[in-house]
Every structure is written in C-alpha cells, then in structure tokens.
Amino acid sequence: MNKVDKETTNYIIQYFPELLTTQERIAIRHAIYTEKFENSAWPDDIWFREKGLITSDQTILDLLKDGYDIFEQRVISRILSEAKDRIFFNNCPKCGKLARTPAAKQCRHCGDNWRDQTS
C-alpha cells in the first residue's frame, strides 16, 4: 500500500464522498464523533448512539481497529485502485500542487490564480 499524503487523503474523502462505501462513511462519522465525545463534558455516549453518530457495530469498529490513519490509507488505496478516473485532482498549473477544492481557482501554496483561464 503506497502511502498517500494527508492533504490528498482529506481532499478525496471530503470532495468525493460518493466513492466511499456505506461502512466507510459510518466508520468516519464514528471516528469523528468518538473523538468529540472523548473530549467533551458529556456524561455518557447514549445521545451520540441514539443520533447514529457512533456505532457499536463490530464490522465498523473492525475497520478502525488499527487506528484512523491506517483506516484512511486503506480507504484511499481502495478508491485509487477502483475509481481513480472519477476523481478530479485540481492541481495548480504553475506549481502543480493540489488546490484546496476541486473548484478552486487560486493556489494556496504559491498564490497563482487561474480565474481568467477558460477550460
């Protein structure tokens, strides 16, 4: 498994959620809200479970058993092997680095902008 940098990982997960499986979406939500729950003053996790924000489904928990970073790398590896052609990597035409969003027209790395360019 080739390690994909965090910026690219976040970009794919945030802007191409349709490429995630239902179980992967649940696992991501569980990880996010488990962290929020652990860092909050809430007395227990009942509210989070009732709202479907965290799960006790062992299949989902098994996806996260090696840690969230490993889970993300597995997800990204799967997506890149199965659906890379469905991802639009919006790279800066000047420096080649990944833009913040698929629709961005200015590079957060070098400041170049391509608003006036036509597709």
Enumerate the domain spans of the chain.
6-86, 90-119
Specify the 3-state DSSP secondary structure of 99.
Answer: coil
Q: What is the pLDDT of residue 84?
A: 95
Q: Closest by alpha carbon to 2, among 64, 67, 76, 83?
A: 76
| pTM for the structure as a whole | 0.85
1: confidence class by pLDDT, cuts 50, 70, 90 = low
Q: Name the token pair of 71.
A: 């889970």
- pLDDT tens per residue across span 78-117: 999 999 999 999 999 999 999 999 999 999 999 999 988 7
7 and 101 in contact (C-beta within 8 Å)? no
- pLDDT tens per residue across span 39-58: 677 667 787 888 888 999 99
90 and 98 in contact (C-beta within 8 Å)? yes
Q: What is the pLDDT of residue 44?
A: 72
Give Cβ neighbours of residue 109 (< 8 Å, ≥ 6 apart): 92, 95, 97
